[in-house]
């Protein structure tokens, strides 16, 4: 099967200061596959979170900046910093993020080659990261909001400006909800202001829905192409009336339909205290393609395999679309994979042009990656190269 061209993106050095359990760390990275192995509580996931924060967004834990700094006794969290040295299509570059010295702990700043970044969209042009965590094993049982956020992260890695559309839509919707509640309490409303907010919601909402729709179609095509190796192909669908309307109508007509619908439903939405219809209600639906079975009815191992398949296909898609693959962060991913599926995962990672970071409690599980992966034994506050694994060639 044809594979995307190797992307010119690699994290070559990770530096941390007062980040979660890590007081200070400077870690040179030489391989395309990195493994952190060690007991629970050793700080493995903290390392993945730090890497995820070198891209746009709030990282794999979704934490606020004030929650990340290292805690020492009863003292408030320390100001923290994470930085990475990358090689990419633009040559070498440095990305740093953290709380400003002397500034509010709630604030987070970004720097590119030492200069402040104006927006996270600039960061998204350089770096993308996708991850799987144990918490995501509940993706098929949890609400539509969790699956929608998962989808939006995938879209963001392909379309860096997607987050801006989603944020603009949600901001306008929040203002509309407040205005409707105020009007209900006071017995009057401001139709002109509401119309302006609904117009913004329609423009940004249709743009977001179109981007989600486009990614689902491209992911399905990539999954059907067999890039997932030994993993069962997932079939994805988007449960969204706005996306469905775009199948048969131009975007401007869908925007007008949304504006008319929201105007007609102001009374109902005011009584509910929320906007009851729109692209913010979208859901991402998974099906085990070979079995034709909804993912929610599959076994835990099958669900994990479907998630892995989607993430691998997404990495391949981004590599071909953007010229570099996203960083792939897999936290305890082998926990629900049998030996054959683990072997399939390792083979896929070796074949795909991604830089992957994996964690696990048992280094022996990663034995098939000997000579390919760089493996570190992780203990609280310390990383040591695992002598049982030969050091691979430089990245």
What residue numbers does the annotated binding site for ATP cover? Answer: 38-45
Asked if 226 contacts 309 with a C-beta cutoff of 8 angstroms, the reply is no
Q: Is 174 helix (H, G, I), strand (E, B) or coil?
A: helix
102 DSSP 8-state letter: T
Residue 361 C-alpha from the chain's centroid: 23
What would you report as the CA-atom Rg of the chain, rounded to the nearest whole angstrom? Answer: 22
Q: Is 225 helix (H, G, I), strand (E, B) or coil?
A: coil
Q: What are phi and psi of 16, to 5 degrees?
A: -130, 150
Residues 6+ apart with CB under 8 A from 2: none
The closest of 179, 231, 204 to 351, measured between CA atoms, is 231
CA neighbor of 29 nearest in space, from 82, 86, 80, 92: 86
DSSP string, 36-68: EE--TTSSHHHHHHHHHTTSSSSTTTT--GGGT
Tokens of 159: 């379309």
Annotated binding-site residue numbers: 38-45
Q: In what order do the strands lie in the sheet with 283-288?
A: 234-239, 283-288, 293-294
Helix-helix angle 144-158:162-186, to 10 degrees: 140
Q: What are phi and psi of 390, to 5 degrees?
A: -65, 145
């Amino acid at each position: 099967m044809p594979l995307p061209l190797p992307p010119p993106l690699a994290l070559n050095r990770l530096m941390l200061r007062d980040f979660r359990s890590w007081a200070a760390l400077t870690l040179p990275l030489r391989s395309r596959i990195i493994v952190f192995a060690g007991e629970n509580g050793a700080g493995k996931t903290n390392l993945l979170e730090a890497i995820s924060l070198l891209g746009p967004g709030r990282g794999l834990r979704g934490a606020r900046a004030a929650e990340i700094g290292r805690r020492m006794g009863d003292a408030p969290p320390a100001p923290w910093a994470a930085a990475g040295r990358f090689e990419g299509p633009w040559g070498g570059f440095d990305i740093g993020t953290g709380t400003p010295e002397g500034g509010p702990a709630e604030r987070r700043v970004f720097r590119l080659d030492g200069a402040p970044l104006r927006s996270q969209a600039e960061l998204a042009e350089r770096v993308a990261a996708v991850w799987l965590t144990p918490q995501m094993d509940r993706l098929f049982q949890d609400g539509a909001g969790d699956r929608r956020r998962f989808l939006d992260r995938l879209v963001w890695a392909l379309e860096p400006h997607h987050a801006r559309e989603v944020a603009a839509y949600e901001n306008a919707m929040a203002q509309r909800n407040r205005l409707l509640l105020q009007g209900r309490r006071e017995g009057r409303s401001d139709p002109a202001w509401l119309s302006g907010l609904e117009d913004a919601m329609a423009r940004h909402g249709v743009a977001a829905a179109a981007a989600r729709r486009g990614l689902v179609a491209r992911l399905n095509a990539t999954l059907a192409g067999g890039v997932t190796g030994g993993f069962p192909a997932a079939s994805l669908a988007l449960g969204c009336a706005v996306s469905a309307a775009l199948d048969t109508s131009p975007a401007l007509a869908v925007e007008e339909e949304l504006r008319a619908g929201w105007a007609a439903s102001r009374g109902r939405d005011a009584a509910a205290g929320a906007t009851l219809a729109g692209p913010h209600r979208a859901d991402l639906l998974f099906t085990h393609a070979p079995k034709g079975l909804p993912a929610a009815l599959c076994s835990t191992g099958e669900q994990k395999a479907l998630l892995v398949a989607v993430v691998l296909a997404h990495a391949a898609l981004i590599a071909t679309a953007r010229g570099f693959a996203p960083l792939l962060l897999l936290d305890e991913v082998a926990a629900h994979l049998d030996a054959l599926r683990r072997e399939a995962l390792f083979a896929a990672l070796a074949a795909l042009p991604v830089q992957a970071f994996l964690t696990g409690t048992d280094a022996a599980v990663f034995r098939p990656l000997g000579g390919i992966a760089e493996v570190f034994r992780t203990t609280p506050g310390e990383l040591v190269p695992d002598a049982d694994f030969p050091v691979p060639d430089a990245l």
